[in-house]
Amino acid sequence: MTSPAKRKALPRIDPARCTGCGWCVAVCEPHVLSLHPGPGWQKKSGLHDASGCTGCALCAVRCPFDAITMVRTADIGRR
């Protein structure tokens, strides 16, 4: 696990763009992303363990719908 001081960014998932395809979950080696039930039968991806995220950005690279952006950890509390 990467310490929060070394992690540069965390994934932010846009629920409007996420289709619940699961590609991001499949490439996430630390297994910190998962699919959550949405309206009806639709699923959405979500970060369920931010402290376990390494910030590798594989999820953002693999997402075919550009639903994931990496947000610098210094900017997370500034929204």
Question: What are the domain boundaries of the chain?
Answer: 9-74
CATH for 9-74, options being 3.30.70.20, 3.30.565.10, 1.10.10.10, 3.10.20.30: 3.30.70.20
Long-range Cβ contact pairs of 72-79 (< 8 A, separation 24 or more): 72/8, 72/9, 73/4, 73/7, 73/8, 73/9, 73/10, 76/10
Q: Write the pLDDT tens digit of every residue in 27-43.
A: 999 999 999 997 788 99
pTM (2 d.p.) = 0.82
Distances (CA, A) of 10 to 30, 34, 48: 13, 15, 12
Residue 2 predicted with pLDDT over 60: no
Q: Write the pLDDT tens digit of every residue in 52-62.
A: 999 999 999 99
